[in-house]
Chains A and B, each alone.
Chain A
């Protein structure tokens, strides 16, 4: 009886989550004519034309390539600077460490809207406007603090004795870090990378402000299409569906770490 009640709650909640997504998929498989002419719960004239538009038009599929490019760049940059920093925070006391850590976290609290304009001017002035690296660097603003925080949580879970034993066994710092420490916090690195990917992938404001043509993200492409051509609902829905897929794939890969991951290693 109790199990049934729980299952019912879960089913209802998941239904609530899936219905809008289903509706998007439903629309992406209809022609514009069908969308606007009447109301139907499923496509009556199933069509893949909307997807065809996206895969054949460079301004559409280019958006995906641009987004993936800067998201990956950002993930690599964020994790590589966060690893040594998180190690230092988890293992050592040093002057100003607590203040530094809090200051770092404040960057996660900074509204992107505050930074949009200054970023635009900064990257324009050094000639990086409309490049992938500009967006990747801009996103480090909130991803590096998050990555440090997550990694620090996981690293704190690794007993310090392991470091000491490794040094006694004659490992140098770098060999120790690569061969012993990294495998131990592998899931933490995975979780941190997942979050960097996630927040960089879902962000719109900065990526739109910092790009115009060459590095235009899919999110920006979508919002601009709405305002320009107005009502191409089918293609818009198809583009939306395609942006969900990378996220779904990433979730599938980390499915066994989701719970601990979202607790940022602090459970």
Chain B
């Protein structure tokens, strides 16, 4: 859209700016403040420079959490994105009761508080009272997510797929709905194969929303805290201790403010960096679509 230059527009942004500054900048400054100081209690702080950053960057515990985090995010993206596209392609095309029902039921997991999602799967996976755990146990699998690290991972991944695939489905569905019928008709006339239709018509039209989906899923899975916290508490051992869980343990559990603050900043920067790459690609493709 053609925009006019108007510096007074700052006044419209101002309320938002004050509010977000209050909830973002002040706390962030606190974090920065802690990250360069140490304390012996009694509110006595002294300057330690970048020591905490060096400690965190060298810390094996943080490395392990980061590696777990990256593996987790990659796995759930590798499952949720293709599955989401696949389900979206099978969504009913005509509007009607069945479509509305599908949409409402699909969206439902997204609106469940995250700790309840955790609770649901905590119960569902238990071998004594949960449907999934009980069934697996009856089928002869040695399944126990509180004892076995692999089982814990599988449970958390299935839970995340259950919880978030719908977001990818709904985004792709919105993209698919914006394709005019004429494209499908032309494809029929050109004798395009099902794969060609997907590759040359559906995928290009879904690209924009798909990028949003991947960005959101990346960010949210990289920050995941509540669901694994409720299901496994980060265990067994540290098997499912992802970055946020580790950070909260460090900050609120052990009250190691300095290292936790340095950890926070590094964590934030990593997400920012990756998201910035996504954002740039997205804006670029937005321009491409507008031309």
Q: Do chains A and B touch in the complex (CB under 8 A)?
A: yes
Q: A122-B30, A204-B114 are in contact. Are A266 and B209 (CB under 8 A)?
A: yes
Q: Decide if A113 touches B108 in the complex (CB within 8 Å).
A: no
Q: Decide if A106 touches B272 in the complex (CB within 8 Å).
A: yes
* Chain B residues numbered 246-281 whose CB sits less than 8 Å from any CB in chain A: 247-248, 251-252, 257, 260, 264-265, 267-268, 271-272, 275-276, 279
- For residue A174, CB closer than 8 A to chain B, the reply is no
**Chain A 119-137 against B: per-residue CB contact (8 Å), 1 yes, 0 no?**
1011000000000000001
- For residue B78, CB closer than 8 A to chain A, the reply is no
User: In the complex, what distance in Å separates the CA atom of A219 from the CA atom of B3?
Assistant: 44
User: In the complex, what distance in Å separates the CA atom of A148 from the CA atom of B92?
Assistant: 31
**Distance of B124 from chain A, by nearest CB (Å):** 5
- For residue B77, CB closer than 8 A to chain A, the reply is no
Q: A81-B16, A88-B12 are in contact. Are A233 and B87 (CB under 8 A)?
A: no
User: In the complex, what distance in Å separates the CA atom of A262 from the CA atom of B115?
Assistant: 22
Q: A6-B92, A263-B171 are in contact. Are A84 and B13 (CB under 8 A)?
A: yes
- For residue B31, CB closer than 8 A to chain A, the reply is yes
**Chain B 116-145 against A: per-residue CB contact (8 Å), 1 yes, 0 no?**
100111011000111110100000000000
Q: Decide if A23 touches B124 in the complex (CB within 8 Å).
A: yes
Q: Which residue of B lies closest to A41 (CB)?
A: B131
Select which of B6, B114, B173 is within 8 A of A259 by beta carbon.
B173
User: In the complex, what distance in Å separates the CA atom of A119 from the CA atom of B248?
Assistant: 13
Q: A201-B113, A219-B113, A262-B171 are in contact. Are A156 and B248 (CB under 8 A)?
A: no
- For residue B214, CB closer than 8 A to chain A, the reply is no
**Chain B 87-127 against A: per-residue CB contact (8 Å), 1 yes, 0 no?**
10011100000001011111111111111100111011000
Q: Which residue of B lies closest to A203 (CB)?
A: B114
A82: which B residues are within 8 A, CB to CB? 16
Q: Decide if B226 touches A204 in the complex (CB within 8 Å).
A: yes
Q: Decide if B23 touches A141 in the complex (CB within 8 Å).
A: yes
User: In the complex, what distance in Å separates the CA atom of A201 from the CA atom of B117?
Assistant: 13
Q: Decide if B275 touches A106 in the complex (CB within 8 Å).
A: yes
User: In the complex, what distance in Å separates the CA atom of A223 from the CA atom of B118?
Assistant: 10
**Distance of A200 from chain B, by nearest CB (Å):** 10
User: In the complex, what distance in Å separates the CA atom of A201 from the CA atom of B13?
Assistant: 26
Q: Decide if A122 touches B90 in the complex (CB within 8 Å).
A: no
User: In the complex, what distance in Å separates the CA atom of A159 from the CA atom of B2?
Assistant: 10
Q: A140-B20, A267-B174 are in contact. Are A102 and B115 (CB under 8 A)?
A: no
Q: Decide if B4 touches A35 in the complex (CB within 8 Å).
A: no
Q: Which of B7, B226, B257, B271 has its CB near the most chain A CB atoms (within 10 A)?
A: B226
B265: which A residues are within 8 A, CB to CB? 114
- For residue A178, CB closer than 8 A to chain B, the reply is no
**Distance of A18 from chain B, by nearest CB (Å):** 7
User: In the complex, what distance in Å separates the CA atom of A217 from the CA atom of B13?
Assistant: 31
**Distance of B16 from chain A, by nearest CB (Å):** 4
**Chain A 234-267 against B: per-residue CB contact (8 Å), 1 yes, 0 no?**
0011001001101110111001101110111011
User: In the complex, what distance in Å separates the CA atom of A26 from the CA atom of B110?
Assistant: 21
Q: A138-B23, A255-B104 are in contact. Are A222 and B111 (CB under 8 A)?
A: no
- For residue B200, CB closer than 8 A to chain A, the reply is no
- For residue A186, CB closer than 8 A to chain B, the reply is no
Q: Decide if B106 touches A263 in the complex (CB within 8 Å).
A: no
Q: List 25 A-B contacts (CB under 8 A).
A: A13-B87, A17-B109, A21-B120, A23-B130, A24-B120, A27-B129, A39-B134, A81-B16, A84-B15, A85-B12, A94-B7, A94-B10, A100-B17, A102-B279, A106-B272, A109-B275, A111-B222, A118-B26, A140-B23, A156-B1, A159-B1, A219-B114, A222-B116, A263-B175, A267-B177
Residues of chain B at the chain A interface (Cβ within 8 Å): 1-10, 12-13, 15-17, 19-20, 22-24, 26-28, 30-31, 86-87, 90-92, 100, 102-116, 119-121, 123-124, 128-132, 134, 162, 166-167, 170-171, 173-175, 177-178, 208-209, 212, 219, 222-223, 225-226, 230, 243-245, 247-248, 251-252, 257, 260, 264-265, 267-268, 271-272, 275-276, 279, 286
Residues of chain A at the chain B interface (Cβ within 8 Å): 5-7, 9-10, 13-14, 16-21, 23-24, 27, 35-36, 39, 41, 77, 80-82, 84-85, 87-95, 97, 100, 102, 104-119, 121-122, 137-138, 140-141, 144-145, 148, 156, 159-160, 198, 201-205, 209, 218-219, 222-223, 226, 233, 236-237, 240, 243-244, 246-248, 250-252, 255-256, 258-260, 262-264, 266-267
